[in-house]
Chains A and B, each alone.
Chain A
């Protein structure tokens, strides 16, 4: 918030979630990334390319390093190697700077601001580039991009409700809406449909397809049915390394993937193996 840009009022920006924006579409490039905690290597030389506009699913058994990889991308943990989004190197930058480069994430547990209204949540998400002069004043009306996001995530009716009163699925949509108004061009979603009903999953999948028109999306997910329906490409992580990569069909046919999922019968992932098609 220290820099003021010409975007400081926010409303000058195009509502990019409808594909009208002239913002460039960037891909994510992860090269030989390693993350260690006290000698334990959680991510062990992962390289992957997510092309612009992809919906990439990251799967793998518990402890495979999926969330840690996302933590590394967003600056939450230290990593070595190289992570580029478009032309920007992300490693070594603080969390809020990485966010301002257009990288947004959600968490396994919902982290909306429960004591604030849906509208206030979105308004705050839209405002990271506001100057202090704007911050010192009251919000009057609804910024355009916030109004557009309210429609996109289907919460326009509940704009004035406290976020804490929303249903679980709605909170997840609010999180995604916050990424939209934040102008994230890379969305990193950590188990977005966990705990959702079938209808909510369908709606979330359709939302992902919509937002991926002008964004790059990376999803960590255990739900294989959801994966089969909405993934455009899949990366399988295992023990901190990339095990397999490709389309859903290619990954499902990969014998190494089958071995990992079937070779660990006690693992939570094994009950939902890609083979149970």
Chain B
């Protein structure tokens, strides 16, 4: 045989000594950086933000962080799993309504009925499906489990039938539209277009009190950090690698003996759970949940934040979501009416020219500065050295 570099079989004749191959993971340095990163994030959220921001701005930040939680989930489902989900509002809404129903019932007191039902419902007693939400032991788990169950049911149907790409995106968006129509149509029991408003208490705490608002903010910030830690573990697990493989070559994964449908289902259900939790925490932070907050437009806005930040990274979706939500507030305060156009423009520019999002700028800058490739698993780049090379969404 002709000499070849590298010649596969020639080295193969002697059995490979196990364990001589380089270890799979860089060691302590990356872990140290992670801990430092989380500590920095915690300091920013728990110390700096409450000191610097007014109560009003802090309440806004709490709202943005809820959007960021949805974004973390979208980062998993879309960035890592390739499922462009344009209907996360559904899961956000399920979580939000479950929480709001409980809080409304708590406000009304034992045996009472929410104010709006007496107004338009002409109901004599609480509808059957509202009753379990009176118990926090049902309502709180339901904020997460209900969206996950719906995602599981939907995902089982859709992924096994190999619906993907643009078809999946459209289907998920249609679901958001359907949910809004359903809510508006059942005004007597859901509050209709107004939604569930005027929520006063949160497990015995008065939400009008700034101190309690601050507490809600801390709960939200802590939850977001916990979700980020969970996501980091998920991304770096074997499952996380498998999910990327499914995104990039679903058929190939099938031929390796996996069922890609179950791999995708897990990511979709996890993303739905995160959206549900975000919706649940949004309610005490803002005091309202309504169809306008969960329909097609907000669902797309969730995705825009993720795209702008960098969908395949850990922090990209969070920073993107917060930045877009902040820009929306700031710009619509100053130039009402133009934000929608700016947002659309931003989305087009990012998708066309920076498919890896702003996170890919970071990776590029590091490469230029250092003159050498960035480490395989940077805090932002997460092993995607070629984040800027990611394909167009819904491909």
A interface, CB within 8 angstroms of B = 1-2, 15, 17-18, 20, 74, 95-96, 99-100, 104-105, 107, 111-117, 119-121, 123-125, 127-130, 132, 134-142, 144, 146-148, 150-157, 159-160, 162, 164, 173, 178, 182, 198-200, 202-204, 206-207, 209-210
Q: Mark B247-273, 1 if CB is under 8 A from A, else 0.
A: 011011111111100110000000000
Say whether B20 faces chain A, with CB atoms less than 8 Å apart.
yes
* Contact A203 B4, beta carbon cutoff 8 Å: yes
* A178 and B258 alpha carbons, distance in the complex (Å): 13
Query: B19 contacts the other chain (Cβ, under 8 Å)?
Result: yes
Q: Does residue B386 face the partner (Cβ distance < 8 Å to A)?
A: yes
> Cβ of B54 < 8 Å from any Cβ of A?
no
Kindly list chain B residues whose C-beta atoms are within 8 Å of the C-beta of A153: 8, 12
A129 vs B238: C-alpha distance in the bound complex, in angstroms?
Answer: 13
For residue B239, CB closer than 8 A to chain A, the reply is yes
Contact call A111/B252, Cβ cutoff below 8 A = yes
Is A128's CB under 8 angstroms from B9's CB?
no
What's the A-B contact tally at a CB cutoff of 8 Å? 175
Given A111-B251, A144-B18, A154-B7, do A96 and B259 touch, yes or no (CB 8 Å)? yes
Complex Cα spacing A123 to B68, Å = 32
Residue on B with the closest CB to A18? B15
Q: Which residues of B lie under 8 Å from residue A116 when comparing CB positions? A: 241, 244-245, 248
A207 close to B15 (CB less than 8 A): no
Question: Quick one: closest B residue to A20, CB to CB?
Answer: B15
Does residue B334 face the partner (Cβ distance < 8 Å to A)? Answer: no
Chain B residue numbers with a CB within 8 Å of A146 are 21
3 pairs of A and B residues whose beta carbons are closest in the complex: A128-B257, A151-B16, A154-B8
- Asked if B376 and A160 make an inter-chain contact with CB atoms under 8 angstroms apart, the answer reads yes
Given contacts A113-B249, A160-B376, are A99 and B255 in contact (CB under 8 A)? yes
Q: Are A134 and B238 also in contact (CB < 8 A) when A114-B248, A144-B18 are?
A: yes
In whole angstroms, what is the CA distance A96 to B20 when docked?
Answer: 32
Give the chain A neighbours of B252 by CB distance below 8 A. Answer: 107, 111-113
Kindly list chain B residues whose C-beta atoms are within 8 Å of the C-beta of A207.
8-9, 12
Q: Which of these, A74, A112, A137, A144, contacts B238 with CB under 8 Å?
A: A137
Contact B1 A100 (CB under 8 A): no
**Residues in A whose Cβ lies below 8 Å from that of B251:** 111
Q: Is the CB of B241 within 8 A of A120?
A: yes
Structural contact, B9 and A95, CB atoms closer than 8 A: no
Given A111-B252, A124-B242, A124-B245, check contact A137 B257 (CB 8 Å).
no
B8's contact among A117, A124, A148, A173, by CB below 8 Å, is which? A173
Which of B16, B18, B258, B385 contacts A152 (CB under 8 A)?
A: B16
Asked whether A128 lies within 8 Å of B25 as measured between CB atoms, the reply is no
Say yes or no: B16 contacts A113, CB within 8 Å. Answer: no
One of B25, B244, B257 near A182 (C-beta < 8 A): B257
Which residues on the B side are within 8 Å of A138 (C-beta)?
25, 236-238
Set B7, B244, B257: member contacting A96, Cβ < 8 A: B257
Residue in B245, B255, B263 whose CB lies within 8 Å of A104: B255
Tell me the minimal C-beta distance from B120 to chain A in angstroms.
Answer: 47
* B122 within 8 Å of A (CB atoms): no
Complex alpha-carbon distance, A203 and B12, angstroms: 11
- Complex interface bits, B224-245 against A, C-beta within 8 A gives 1, otherwise 0: 0000000001101111011011
Report if B6 contacts A (CB, 8 A).
yes
A202 surroundings in chain B (CB, below 8 A): 1-2, 4
